[in-house]
A and B are shown apart, each in its own frame.
Chain A
Amino acid sequence: MFLRVQLPLLLTFLAGLIPIVAFFFTEKARLVKVPNDRLEKWMIIIAGFAIMLGVVNVVQGNIRKIERKGPGWHYAIFLLIGLVLPGSFGLLGAFNVGPFHGISPHADGSPSPFSFFVSYVFQPLQATMFSLLAFYVASAAFRAFRVRNLEATILLLAAVVVMLGRIPLGESLFAWIPGGKLALGTFTEWLMNNPNTAAQRGIMIGAALGAASLSLRVILGIERSYLGLEKD
């Protein structure tokens, strides 16, 4: 019971309280600043060890999938190759084993095996995933801007104004009116800086208080569902 309940709650209490206390003291207050700095370092070290736990889990899970030959088991082979190959290149390069010299590109500009993998496989794959966003923004906007009710219509009008106000076409649309060239841009800025910012700040204030309230519940051990535990 102590190891499963009291000890995690005690550690949570200390880990939560120390940074709060440290925030209200200057750097000279070593009594609180030193434990706080230590805590931050421990967090990095623990995260480093935890990632090994993750890697072991990935390997175990995918080997199991290949053994069972369940649906999509062949993807697991590619995943393991993608994990082992660049990982080995990185490790061997870091220790200068055989032809693997370093992990950065060589002095003559030629890539090391590891940097080759990063530049020509990993980064293009990342860019591919990120670039998909453009298409998803279009499909989400199409759904959001359909005129279904009054709120959706206001949203559509505001979106059209903001989009036009931020492109040269928007300027030329009203250029024939004296002083109208900047009208749409100015209105766009007003929309973004006033109604939009006001709504955002409302959410931010609520969220900040919510976060502080949750922190207090966690530090005091009232909220313990993240440990999978019920109340007392």
Chain B
Amino acid sequence: MEGFLHFNLQRANAFVLFLLFCTLILWFIRAARTRQDLFIRKIAGLNAIDEAVGRATELGRKVLYVPGISSIDENQTIASLAVLSHVARMTARYNTELDVPNKDPLTFASARETVKEAYIQEGRPDLYNDSIVHYVTYDQFAYTASVAGIMMRERPATNFLIGSFAAESLLLAETGQASGAIQIAGTAEIAQLPFFVCACDYTLIGEELYAAGAYLSRDPAMLGSIKGQDWTKALVGLAIIVGTLAATTGLFDLARLFRAR
């Protein structure tokens, strides 16, 4: 009881919005479990994954998967591992070589489990070995140099650059482009998105990356959460329009309700 007396009232607005968001998501997850006709728009970058892995299989070359440079406490990394799981299943199914170099040690440990489990679930544990997912270094540019070296020396047919990236995004994407690989990138880092759009064949922009796991699994519950998220976005859009009109006409200050403290 003592803990609840210390509720931060300055964050009450955030709490109400948090509850509203959770309610919408959970309601749509529940609704999705009973309905099978949920429409989710096509995401070109995710549809291209099968084609990209197929290309590597046909060429007899490897698939390079870069899960970004952040640790596992970053949402983008978790989203990236969901895509990695799908890619690993495909490489296991088609007996295609997969290479996952890592910068962060916790991401490395998680990626290894993800890939191992994907090979087991695909019924090909014999194809898995520990060198598929390997650690490189904790230094950003040393990691970049190593991955760029893999791209130019070993010429993977397909490069996935999915996760959280910083200054190395363009170095990697341009090197991959020069090596002639088909490239699928995805990040929510605003500053890095233009680089990926310029240098990659497909780019998952922001929310598309977070939706990847749900989109690829086609699990109704997960797709329901995307639907709930879209409805929240519509409400946010409505609030922006109403807020803009109210501020322009001087009626009231709606932004005050949303101000973070």
Contact = CB atoms under 8 A, between A and B. Distances in A.
A39 to B, nearest CB: 10
Interface residues of B, number: 88
Contact of B221 (A43, A230, A231): A231
A57 B210 contact: no
A71 B149 CA distance: 12
A126 B190 contact: no
Interface string A195-232: 00000100111110111111111100011011111110
B195 A213 contact: no
A53 B100 CA distance: 16
B211 A210 contact: yes
A23 interface: yes
Contact of A210 (B14, B198, B207): B207
A209 B236 contact: yes
Contact of B105 (A30, A51, A64, A130): A51
A139 interface: yes
A216 B25 contact: yes
A136 B174 contact: yes
A25 B9 CA distance: 8
A133 B167 CA distance: 8
Contact of B3 (A25, A210, A222): A25
A125 interface: yes
B198 A25 contact: no
Interface residues of A, number: 63
Contacts of B114: 225-228
Interface in A35-68: 43, 46-47, 50-51, 53-55, 57-58, 61, 64
Contacts of B229: 209-210, 212-213
Contact of B75 (A125, A144, A203, A214): A214
Given A132-B171, A231-B219, A209 B113 contact: no
Chain B CB within 10 A, most for which of A43, A57, A213: A213
Contact of B233 (A206, A216, A228): A206
Nearest to A144: B198
B25 A213 contact: yes
B174 A214 contact: no
A230 B213 CA distance: 11
B53 interface: no
Contact of A57 (B79, B134, B194, B222): B134
27 contacts: A24-B18, A25-B6, A25-B8, A26-B8, A28-B6, A43-B73, A51-B105, A53-B108, A54-B135, A57-B135, A126-B142, A136-B170, A136-B171, A139-B174, A140-B173, A140-B199, A143-B198, A203-B205, A205-B233, A205-B236, A207-B210, A212-B21, A214-B210, A222-B219, A223-B213, A225-B213, A228-B116
